[in-house]
Structure 1
Amino acid sequence: MKRIAIIGGGIAGLTAAYELSCLASKGAAVEAVLFEASPRLGGIVETVREGGFVIECGPDAWVTEKPWARELAEQLGLGDEIISSNDATRKTYVLMDGLLQAMPDGMRMMVPANLHALDQSELFSPEAKQDFHAEISRATELKASAPQHDESVAAFVRRHFGDEVLDTIGAPLLRGVFGGDVTQLSVRAVMAPFVAMEREHGSLIAAMQANSTASKSRQAAIFTTLQSGLGTLVDRMVATIPKDWLRLGTTIRALSHEHDGWKVETSSTQEHFDVILMAAPVHIARELMQSIDTRAAQLIAMDASSAVVVAFGFPDATGFSTPPGFGFLVPEGSGSRLLACTFVDQKFANRVPPNGKLIRAFFGADAAERLIRCGNDEVSSVARLELAHILGPLPEPQVTVVRRWPKSLPQYAVGHLERMKELDEHIRNLNGLYLLGNGYRGVGLPDLIRDARAAAQQLV
């Protein structure tokens, strides 16, 4: 019987435990113990259901084009729960000079496929629009001058479109996903499809137009989720895992590599395992690895930003309207502490009671670090004040949910892929250790699910 320790009960660790339990039920000679320091499983995936509101405390969806989350949901019997975002009315705004300006139709990140829509937009100055148009004519130059080494997202976007585009939408979009500093983030790690576009076409706009023409017949909604919330994914997996595999409220004190396997120490026990699936947050993984392989621990070391989410559910929003669309982004220097806001009931169906409205405010970087230390009442007051400055006076919410996610978004800094390649070599030499989670090969739910299931299957 192969004994496997899973350290960390977020989506990656939980998915690995689920996959191993499925394999064990089919006769595989494996048993696992999942160690989770907190009293609940799922990590930042959590759904609150109250008063007819379905409130996501962390991610609210997965990217549709990545199939692994959908495959897992279907395997768990949740096929009927799968719903798509309301893309027919999709619109995203950017806060500019205190006003919400809509991003042009046809944008993918900061790249427009529809230059006519771009020209009609009030989001960009005439000079920025000219930079967009000029990017197509610079295709040969951009392709020839593309660096052979990694670079920052900021440098990449500036080369194609200039500073205004970077500051207006490039940085806010990336901050919304990674919570990071675009002057530090690795373009090859976080924008790999765009790097590939540059290599093939030079011009990102030309690449987008070619891809848009080729894919018009198979367009799907950008986001997918579950009608009852992503927490249902967690609940279904937990229900299938043997109860004696789960150790909640248990912190790992030390990890050591022995000739015949691994020793895991908690405050009350020492246990031996054949394999370790390390699915803890990167700062905890680094601490546990320090005594095992100092170079691997150095390679795991990376900055991680925090996030604070505040959701407000309004039971009667007849006197409170939001612009049509999914929400807005807030560039740095705009005078607001917000990072972004989602109009949840407009992004997905069946999230609110009749006449209700649900919005989520996001704080990141320095604002999140400060708010994490505040009480819930103070955090919600700050969020309401910031939202009111942009949307106008808010009615009294029926439901308020505050969540703090410290160090939840690892920063893939320039050179990340090279560091991960070296890290993989070190880990291979430590027989029976696997690294899972959002610090290595992607931050989205599908990436975490793909890696966790693959690791479990490889063990068996």
Structure 2
Amino acid sequence: MARTPKSVIIVGGGISGLSTAFALLEQAASADLPLSCTILDAAPVWGGKIVTHRVGRWVMEAGPDSFLSQKPWGMELCRRLGIADQLINTNPVEKKASVLRGGQLHELPEGLVTFTPSQLGPFFRSGLLSWMDLARMGCDVLIPPRRSTDDESLAAFFRRRFGRHACERVMEPLMAGIYAGDAEQMSLRATFPRFYELEQSHGSVIRGMMAARRARVQTASDGRPRHTMFVTLKNGLADLVAGMTARIQQTGGVLKSGVQAEALRVRSHQAGRWMYDVICSDGTALSAEALVLATPAYVSADLVRPLSPLAAGLMETIPYASTATISLIYPAAVVGRSLQGFGFVVPRVEGRDLIAATWTSIKWPHRAPPDEVSVRCYLGGVGREAILERDDEALVRCVRDELASIVGLHATPQYVEVNRWHRAMPQYTIGHLDRLTQLEAAVSRFGGLTITGAGYRGVGLPDCIRDGTETAARTLRYLQSTVTNRSEL
């Protein structure tokens, strides 16, 4: 006799929602649990902020352009999808990056960019900071660890360990730039817990990194091919989305794009068990025994408010920053050698509109033909969002003026593309982890309801993939418990 499939609805078709669906269907098949899984997304296409535009021989990323290889979940997903052979490394030759100081670019040694202690030597010879600043950084080995259990801002931590100038000129643009955030507001433990752990376990960040380096040297090679710190896919990250959606459909998942979840109702169909009714924008209503919300926290807040005003209120405390990426294509002949390395970052203290620029076709193979150069510039972020009120033409004019001023690039681009991301980058402000604990407790009152996404436990692609996979495992355990309980009746 055929068993009735357990039912799940996933709201949100970005990397987190797709990762949840992919893992859930795979795990359910392994557990021999019949499953009906429907994924909804208000957008007409899947992938959320993962958007690859292929124009002729150009490959341009509108959102994220790569992911960390050191966090294994992205690499593992590529292997499971059979696209690991499409992974590419950054350019092994032109691999330097720079930081703007006083209107001039100063090279950041690779040791600082990748936090590899054995390569920190060149940093002390770079001229980026004064000898007094360098001596202050070295005091990290003498400063005792902070023992308070209170959360600390990213800026406060780096000022305390390395000094004000190192924080403002180096750490802030590298660390806060990843989140498009303000280091004065960002939670150290929620954004870069590794530094907190190094301080607590070794008494010093530098000593902790040196110990980690020794451990890596002593570890034997596992025989796998080596990858650079950041990797991407040859034809763009959209191939990751395509692979996931294809596998989800092959394993029985139902994808409904262009359908927004407008309201959520919950009803109890037996003691301690719930049914979730999702009212959709296409006039339909879907019901399921388990529900995963993989939308931005402010969207999920509106949905859960009738169930838990407390959970909704906590979700609304997670702020989101708006950004824009501007891609420009130039003939290589007019660019010459004005662009070197991978690009540069701009510290907040410089007071510039531009927060970073990447020489995309230098950093990654296959992004443009040899006779053309692809450039991507970044605007917006916390405290710098006013510029996004300008129209596209003004944004392009702004980044062109900045490139002319900083690297002497005065040429006219032959192609320009502006991509705006409104409230797209969640900010993990001080106290984020404590609020997340409260949020999880509030949501746990409703069995089968889970939340995932960049707003909670990591903004990078590997973090979202990991969290989606763990969300799938929690959902599967819940559904299996309902089967067990019914069999005991």
TM above 0.5: yes
1:207 and 1:344, CA in 2 relative to 1: closer, same or farther beyond 3 A? same
1:323 and 1:127, CA in 2 relative to 1: closer, same or farther beyond 3 A? farther
Aligned to 2:89: 84
1:276 and 1:326, CA in 2 relative to 1: closer, same or farther beyond 3 A? same
* Match status 1:142 vs 2:144: yes
* Match status 1:61 vs 2:66: yes
Other structure's SS at 1:107 match: helix
Pairwise CA distance, 1:7: 1.0
Tell me how far apart the structure 2 counterparts of residues 106 and 351 of structure 1 sit (CA, whole Å).
26
Q: Which letter maps to 1:80?
A: D
Aligned to 1:16: 20
* Match status 1:390 vs 2:406: yes
User: In the TM superposition, what whole-angstrom CA distance separates every residue of 1:60-102 from its partner, at most 9, and x where no partner exists?
Assistant: 1111111111111111120210112235542121111111111
1:295 and 1:317, CA in 2 relative to 1: closer, same or farther beyond 3 A? farther
Pairwise CA distance, 1:34: 1.5
- CA contact 2:380–2:386 (8 Å) conserved in 1: no
Q: Which letter maps to 1:291?
A: P
Pairwise CA distance, 1:105: 3.8
1:448 and 1:371, CA in 2 relative to 1: closer, same or farther beyond 3 A? same
Aligned to 1:341: 357
Q: Which letter maps to 1:214?
A: A
Pairwise CA distance, 1:22: 4.0
Say which of 238, 250, 257 aligns to 1:231: 238
Other structure's SS at 1:146 match: coil
1:75 and 1:220, CA in 2 relative to 1: closer, same or farther beyond 3 A? closer
Count of aligned pairs: 456
Pairwise CA distance, 1:366: 5.8
Pairwise CA distance, 1:111: 8.7
Other structure's SS at 1:328 match: strand
Pairwise CA distance, 1:221: 1.4
**Deviates further, 233-242 or 16-25:** 16-25
Tell me how far apart the structure 2 counterparts of residues 322 and 211 of structure 1 sit (CA, whole Å).
37
Pairwise CA distance, 1:15: 2.0
User: In the TM superposition, what whole-angstrom CA distance separates every residue of 1:120-152 from its partner, at most 9, and x where no partner exists?
Assistant: 11111222111012222x1xx423x43222111
Say which of 330, 350, 362 aligns to 2:378: 362
Tell me how far apart the structure 2 counterparts of residues 92 and 393 of structure 1 sit (CA, whole Å).
17
Q: Which letter maps to 2:319?
A: D
Aligned to 1:246: 255
Aligned to 1:93: 98
Other structure's SS at 1:429 match: coil
1:232 and 1:368, CA in 2 relative to 1: closer, same or farther beyond 3 A? farther
Other structure's SS at 2:348 match: coil
Q: Which letter maps to 1:248?
A: S
1:374 and 1:36, CA in 2 relative to 1: closer, same or farther beyond 3 A? farther
Tell me how far apart the structure 1 counterparts of residues 90 and 363 of structure 2 sit (CA, whole Å).
6
1:372 and 1:24, CA in 2 relative to 1: closer, same or farther beyond 3 A? farther
Pairwise CA distance, 1:455: 2.2
Pairwise CA distance, 1:112: 5.9
Tell me how far apart the structure 2 counterparts of residues 327 and 440 of structure 1 sit (CA, whole Å).
30
Tell me how far apart the structure 1 counterparts of residues 29 and 400 of structure 2 sit (CA, whole Å).
49
Q: Which runs of 5+ in 1 are unaligned?
A: none
- CA contact 1:153–1:186 (8 Å) conserved in 2: yes
Pairwise CA distance, 1:367: 7.5
Other structure's SS at 1:106 match: helix
- CA contact 1:276–1:432 (8 Å) conserved in 2: yes
Aligned to 1:411: 427
Tell me how far apart the structure 2 counterparts of residues 14 and 115 of structure 1 sit (CA, whole Å).
39
The normalised TM-score by structure 1 is 0.93
User: In the TM superposition, what whole-angstrom CA distance separates every residue of 1:202-227 from its partner, at most 9, and x where no partner exists?
Assistant: 22112222222332476741111111
Matches within 5 A, 1:301-320: 301=316, 302-317=318-333, 319-320=335-336
- CA contact 1:111–1:205 (8 Å) conserved in 2: no
**Deviates further, 22-31 or 7-16:** 22-31
Tell me how far apart the structure 2 counterparts of residues 319 and 180 of structure 1 sit (CA, whole Å).
31
1:96 and 1:293, CA in 2 relative to 1: closer, same or farther beyond 3 A? same
User: In the TM superposition, what whole-angstrom CA distance separates every residue of 1:350-391 from its partner, at most 9, and x where no partner exists?
Assistant: 221022211110112267633444433332222222222112
Other structure's SS at 1:300 match: helix
- CA contact 2:346–2:355 (8 Å) conserved in 1: yes
Tell me how far apart the structure 2 counterparts of residues 7 and 414 of structure 1 sit (CA, whole Å).
28
Q: Which letter maps to 2:462?
A: P
1:367 and 1:189, CA in 2 relative to 1: closer, same or farther beyond 3 A? closer
Tell me how far apart the structure 2 counterparts of residues 237 and 311 of structure 1 sit (CA, whole Å).
27
Say which of 251, 266, 275 aligns to 1:257: 266
Aligned to 1:266: 280
1:437 and 1:133, CA in 2 relative to 1: closer, same or farther beyond 3 A? same
Say which of 5, 10, 18 aligns to 2:9: 5
Other structure's SS at 2:210 match: helix
1:134 and 1:368, CA in 2 relative to 1: closer, same or farther beyond 3 A? closer
- CA contact 1:73–1:233 (8 Å) conserved in 2: yes
**Deviates further, 326-335 or 56-65:** 326-335
Q: Which runs of 5+ in 2 are unaligned?
A: 270-274, 477-489
Tell me how far apart the structure 2 counterparts of residues 116 and 24 of structure 1 sit (CA, whole Å).
51
CA RMSD, aligned part only? 2.3
Pairwise CA distance, 1:109: 6.8
Aligned to 2:484: none
Tell me how far apart the structure 2 counterparts of residues 105 and 316 of structure 1 sit (CA, whole Å).
26
Q: Percent identity?
A: 33
**Deviates further, 181-190 or 392-401:** 392-401
The normalised TM-score by structure 2 is 0.87
Q: Which letter maps to 2:373?
A: K
Q: Which letter maps to 2:126?
A: S
* Match status 1:48 vs 2:70: no
* Match status 1:455 vs 2:471: yes
